[in-house]
Amino acid sequence: MNIKDVAEREIPLSELPQWSPWPARLLGLTEWNTPDRTVDKIENEYNQDKYLKCLDMAKAEPDTITVQQLRKFEFSLKEGSTICVSSEGTLYEVKVEHILSLDRTIAVDTLEPMLEKIDTVVEIGCGYGPNLWEIYQKYPDKTYRGGEYSMNAIEVSKMLYKNHPNVTVEYCNFYDDTYNVLEQCAPDSRVLLFTRHAIEQLPTAEKVLQTLTKYFDRLAYIVHMEIVNENSDDTLLGLMRQSYVNANDYNRDLLGLLQKRDDIEIVSNEPDVSGTNPLNPTSTIVWKPV
């Protein structure tokens, strides 16, 4: 599914303040205090808020809760409404009923060219594993391992995948020196590792790249579906995106750090594939050890 195929219309940039509070915040017209994106911030924002609410929802219907129900809850989608999304520097108005399908399409389509060549799919910063689940639906013969900081998200995953033993989520902290979710993958195995709007939580990606280097003997491909600050150009929209990254203390150096490495190959870098928040678009970076 392509955004252009389901869009109601293009939205001029001048209308963005009607769809988002962020232009006013970035211009200083409404108050916003830049957070320190520390582990404590992640604990409060995700484990004790977002994923605790998901866990409460799952506990209310432990035998019937589905990934799609939780995703709809996460996106706060209201039937019949529309939202402003972005693709390739253009803003579009899209009905909410298309959003989850677009979200699934991005994950599967991005990884699909590599999936035939690997045995295990690993996502770090996976939440309760909805991306892994969507890929599993199409490629059930692979092993799917998720690493996640939030213990509440891990508890949700146990309820969702209790009948699917090859989809698991366990504890992982980006700031650790080792990742158990990769330790369990044998050297010389064929692992595809990806992140999706998870590296953005790290003002610098230096530590996570340092840790991933230890597992080059098993990593076939690494894919980042993230906001990539260095991909923002000097257009008004691009400058607003850079300001948005700074205002949220999001990652600002992922691509730059990769470009400095001589032990990897950057296979592709596609800016602004899609953004359900047009100031936080998904770029896709594919790289591999050499």
In the chain the domains, ranked by start, together with CATH numbers, are 3-289 (3.40.50.150)
Q: How far apart are CA 43 and CA 55, in angstroms?
A: 15
Backbone φ and ψ of 239, nearest 5°? -65, -35
Instruction: Indicate yes or no: pTM above 0.85.
Output: yes
Question: What pLDDT is attached to residue 2?
Answer: 82
Question: What pLDDT is attached to residue 79?
Answer: 79
Backbone φ and ψ of 75, nearest 5°? -75, -10
**Structural contact between residues 203 and 37, judged by C-beta atoms closer than 8 angstroms:** yes
Residue 283, judged by CB atoms within 10 A of its CB (0-12, 13-18, 19+), counts as buried
**Residue of 139, 87, 132, 90 whose CA lies nearest to 115:** 139
Q: How does pLDDT run along the chain (290 residues), one tens digit per residue?
A: 688 899 999 999 999 999 999 999 999 999 998 888 888 888 989 999 999 999 999 999 988 999 999 998 888 877 789 999 999 999 999 998 898 888 888 889 999 999 999 999 999 999 999 999 999 999 999 999 999 999 999 999 999 999 999 999 999 999 999 999 999 999 989 999 999 999 999 999 999 999 999 999 999 999 999 999 999 999 999 999 999 999 999 999 999 999 999 999 999 999 999 999 999 999 999 999 99
Residue with tokens 């690493």: 147
